[in-house]
Amino acid sequence: MLVLALAVASVAGADESQKWLERMNQALTTLNYDGVFSHWQGGKVETLHIIHRVQDGAVTERLVSLDGSGREFIRTGSELACYLPDQRTVLVERQPPATLLLGSLPNFEAATSEFYEIKAAKSTRLLGRRAQLIVVNPKDQYRYGYRLWIEESTGMPLRTELCDGHGRVIEQVVFASIAWPTHIPDSAFKPDLSADSFRWLREESGPLAAGGTPMLWTALKLPPGFRMSVRAAQKMPGARYPVAHLVFTDGLASVSVFVESHTHVSHALSGSTQVGSSSAFTTVVDGHPVTAVGEVPPETVQLIANSMKAESRASAPARSPFDSAIPPLDPTPLQLDLAHGPVSALH
Amino acid sequence: MTNEELESQLSAMFDDELPEPECELLARRLARDEALKARWGRYATIGAVLRMERGVRTHSGLVRAVSVAVAAEPSVLATARARELVRPAVRRWWQPVAGAAVAAGVAFASIVWMRSEAPGAPGAPEVAQVQPAPAAAVARSTAPDSYVVPTVDPTATGSTPPFIPPAELADYVVAHSEFSAPLLRHSALSSLVTADPGTGNAASAPTGGDNDQQK
């Protein structure tokens, strides 16, 4: 009886913890906040100031480096600008007007809890506020874990850590101060510097080859719990040919695989690398350069990249535009409303 | 053209089955028509979405990737199918992806603000080194206004061998960031505004947080 009670309690505990994480996602995407945080990664620590406002469905934000470079990025309406005073350059990109407010949220399905242990640990005080520590432990070596200190009244993560399977911290963000102003004026989102004499560079948008890539790629083998969630073709800047972009996820972690359409022997680089907290692995499959990238341990991207396999569209059976490798669903229930983001299990 | 015919043309174009003259006409129309652009974007998204299980994640980046096609010169869109694309002279960076709070910023700025630790002069030829390359030179794109590619950090811990990723890898990392969990995107803010070496403070690894056994 006690065992059963404990089991029930732990399941309830996991659900409760997941609710904390959902609250955190909501906070990050919907609240006004203004704070200073330090970020530790790769042996270096930086201090940054972030201001984030959601008003009438539009997100405005500004991030400023406080470490002397003077760099900042500002997102207002449909435009994103990166100010680089050290290079006397501003990079600007214009985004579509119907900017999605709701981005990707982790899928806390039953499958996720099969590969992660999510539990609430102690409640503590940070910045004079009560915060709940939520621990996400990976159950195998293919994924990373998280430790999140979530402020109880707002759901804002006051401190976050990305950890490997041994508990070693890979990356850490800690707020030194934070406020949630009801109103943030537009003036708060003006850059600190005058960029009139700077060089302004607008985004380069290359056209996408219609119809995507000639080959359909898939992974013959995936780490437990990973499944394909996206298959798209993208035009990479400066690239001549479209690149297949597949995303594999276990619900929490995700890995992108990029496969170049045309075989070429040029750089043919291969090997592992770390870019920030992302692991990357590049190899060649049937002459096509394949690169896997994700916030996962190096062996995960290596496994996935090495298992990629192609089948030619020509030899594949006739497919609908929606790639019927999976039996097509009746599309009507999806009711995709791109202005409001996806219908997800969280809503 | 009725909506139905338009849909069918869009679908055919998306599936690479529309003859080129019609493709060009449709592309021109797409360039003018916001609603049509959105619909085109939905084709790409719907396809991706149908392959997902529940808890669908719609990424504006998918819409974006397709919509940039029609934002460009219509003739280029048609041309792209049959001919090589002229490599733009302007430096490249990956456009950010909209989405949750900081997603766009991460995607966009991280490409620019990869750590720059370059002693090399700007304009040095790009060097892609296969590991190991302990004395590797700085890798920079030849375009003078390109973003800086990360270099080997001699003080970096970790078991991965020194490897200088080319700019393509930086592109991929940014394109991937759209799909990172919001937590990681939020954490990755620091990648955006990386201080130059010398201004960033070296710090020892933080301890693994409070002991979560305590209650």
Where in chain B are the domains?
A: 3-82, 89-197
Report the complex ipTM: 0.73
State whether A190 and A42 are in the same domain.
yes
Residue A333 domain flag: no
Closest CA to A148 of A332, A325, A20, A60: A20
Q: Which pairing describes strands A145-151 and A157-163: parallel, antiparallel, or unpaired?
A: antiparallel
Q: What residue of A is the nearest CA neighbor of B170?
A: A275
Give the pLDDT confidence score for residue A236 in this predicted structure. Answer: 65
Note whether B167 contacts A: Cβ–Cβ < 8 A: yes
First to last CA, chain B: 68
Q: How many of the other CB atoms lie within 10 Å of CB of A124?
A: 17
The reply to whether A337 falls in a domain is: no
Let me know whether A248 and A274 are in one domain.
Answer: yes
Q: Is the Cβ of B150 closer than 8 Å to some Cβ of chain A?
A: yes
Which residues does chain A have within 8 Å of residue B191's beta carbon, measured at their own beta carbons?
Answer: 41, 276
Q: Is residue A344 a part of any domain in this protein? A: no
Number of neighbouring beta carbons within 10 Å of residue A153: 9
Is A289 found in the same domain as A141? no
pLDDT at A334 exceeding the cut of 80: no
Q: Sheet with A288-294: list strands edge to edge.
A: A227-234, A243-249, A254-260, A288-294, A278-285, A271-275
Instruction: Please indicate, yes or no, whether residues A8 and A43 belong to a single structural domain of this protein.
Output: yes
Are residues A223 and A150 part of one domain? no
Do A191 and A228 lie in one domain? The reply is no
Share of chain B above pLDDT 70, in %: 10
Whether residues A228 and A196 fall in one domain: no
* Same-domain status, A228 and A263: yes
**Is residue A265 a part of any domain in this protein?**
yes
Which of B180, B192, B207 is the closest to A295 by Cβ? B180
Tokens 């995303």 found at = A247
Among residues 68-87 of chain B, which lie with CB inside 8 Å of chain A?
Answer: 68-69, 71-73, 76-78, 80-81, 84-85, 87
| A134 assigned to some structural domain | yes
Identify the domain containing residue A89 by its residue range: 2-201
pLDDT digits (tens, 9 = 90+) for A137-180: 999 999 999 899 999 999 999 998 889 888 889 888 899 999 99
Do A137 and A222 fall within a single domain?
no
Task: Report how many domains make up chain A.
Answer: 2
Chain A: residue nearest B163 by CA?
A273
What confidence tens digit (pLDDT) does each residue in A14-53 have? 678 888 888 887 888 789 999 998 888 777 788 888 899 9
A306 inside domain: yes
B54 min Cα distance to partner chain A (Å): 7
Indicate which CATH number applies to the domain containing A255: 3.30.200.100
Is some CB atom of chain A closer than 8 A to the CB atom of B145? yes
Count other C-beta atoms under 10 Å from residue B6's C-beta: 16
Higher local confidence (pLDDT), A268 or B130: A268
Q: Which residue has the tokens 């109880």?
A: A152
